[in-house]
Structure 1
Amino acid sequence: MTVGVVEQALPVKVAILGTASSGKTTLAAALARDYGTVWVPEYLREFVDTEQRIPVAQDQIHIARTQLAREAIAAPLAHRYLFCDTTPLMTAVYSRHYFQGIDAELALLADRHQRDYAVTLVTAPDIPWEADGLQRESEQVSVTINAMLMEELKRRAIPYLLLTGTLAERLAQASRHLP
């Protein structure tokens, strides 16, 4: 009798990108619930809560690396999909805005890992904007960041689905797009 090793298929990694207060976290949690899997929260939130400050330029690579490390930890627990509430690409976009550039190591991380996501969902900033303590910028900055994100996705030729409307509408749009 031969005992075989059963390998778990890698989950389909789904990137959820968007500006502050655009519903990324709510969407990631709802998709994970609906698909009976896990999701990776945005590490930036934890960083701000733990450090009690907004990040500086030197923190960006740590934030992006930690986000990826959390994805690696969650992947074996995922069932079919792993929903990721942000990626290093989003960290790079924020770095470009707040720090007038992207650290070379962060740029490399964003380049190397964005293709790891089989699907990219972008949450439109079309829901009521809400401030979120230290972490969140103004509504006007969110508009700027959204434009920068759209430019970056176009520049990198990353296909994405823009999710609009209520949570129920966004869930329906996402489910039609997931493989």
Structure 2
Amino acid sequence: MAVCVALLGGESSGKSTLATALQRHLTENHGLHAICVPEHLRAWCEARGRAPHADEQAAIADEQTRLIQRARQTPGVDIVIADTTALMVAAYSALYFQDTALLAPSLAAQRSCELTLLMGLDLPWTPDGLFRDSPAVRDATDELLRRELQGAGIAFQTVYGQGNARLQQALRAVGTALGRPLVQDDPALANGLRPWSCDNCSDPDCEHRLFTGLLSRNA
């Protein structure tokens, strides 16, 4: 079964951009058959021109999980990059409807992913004219995701930066999951060491400072 790299984060945090960049880089530069699974929630909203009601959330979450599993079972696929998982639907259900029923099953599905990448909030929030709510909702989503992942004991790595800088951080994490270096001259993997990660830190400033310092020393 293909390795699953799951991208999580609030609205306007760069998930789709990073998913596309990862898929292209892994395919073109490392000869891996990588495919993206898009966010079903967004497709659902665009098709209907509205946000889902409370009683529609569970089916959307289940379909996201089904799409990821189907992609992982596709013959010849090495890596599946999930542009969000059911956990995002569960997070929105908890925030907007105060319904936490979807959290437990979505966390169970999240455990099957070999790598969870959480988007840092250093990108500017931008409206899309459709469904994005506000920077406050993005912050609240980030807080909820961290709390639930940590509470469930699911490791995650936060990635920061714009463009290639964020891609390089993500590639280091993916390389660790695959057991092979994906970043040229990555000293951590070259020495057989695990690259820095801050899986359980709840302080984004701390995460960013540590990662920036590490990259500076490596450079």
The TM-score with structure 1 as length reference comes to 0.88
Q: How many equivalent residue pairs?
A: 168
CA contact (8 A) 1:124 1:164 kept: yes
Q: Is the 8 A contact 1:48 1:134 kept in 2?
A: no
The residue that corresponds to 1:138 in the other structure is 134
2:32 is the counterpart of 1:45: no
Residue 155 (structure 2) pairs with residue 159 (structure 1): yes
Secondary structure of the residue that 2:6 maps to in structure 1? strand
Q: Is the 8 A contact 1:54 1:134 kept in 2?
A: no
Partner of 1:112: 108
Q: How far apart in 2 are the matches of 1:97 and 1:78?
A: 38
Which fold has the larger relative contact order, with Cα–Cα distance below 8 Å and residues 6 or more apart in sequence? Answer: 1
- Does structure 2 retain, via aligned residues, the 8 Å contact 1:38–1:78? no
Moved more, 17-26 or 155-164: 155-164
Contact 1:121 1:163 in 2 (8 A): yes
Q: Is the 8 A contact 2:8 2:118 kept in 1?
A: yes
Q: How does 1:15-94 map to 2 (within 5 A)?
A: 15-36=6-27, 37-75=34-72, 76=74, 79-94=77-92
Alignment partner of 1:135: what SS? Answer: coil
Structure 2 unmatched ranges of 5 or more: 28-33, 178-219
Q: Cα gap change, 1:162/1:12 in structure 2, threshold over 3 Å: closer, same or farther?
A: same
* Whole-angstrom distance in 2 between the partners of 1:40 and 1:116: 15
For 2:43, give the aligned amino acid.
E
Provide structure 1 residue ranges, at least 5 long, that are not aligned to the other structure.
1-9
Q: Distance in 1 between matches of 2:69 and 2:110?
A: 14
| Mapped partners of 1:166, 1:79: distance in 2 | 28
How far 1:101 moved relative to its partner? 1.8
Query: What TM-score do the two structures reach when normalised by structure 2?
Result: 0.73
SS of 2:21's equivalent in the other structure is helix
* Aligned residue number for residue 95 of structure 2: 97
Aligned-residue CA RMSD (Å): 1.4
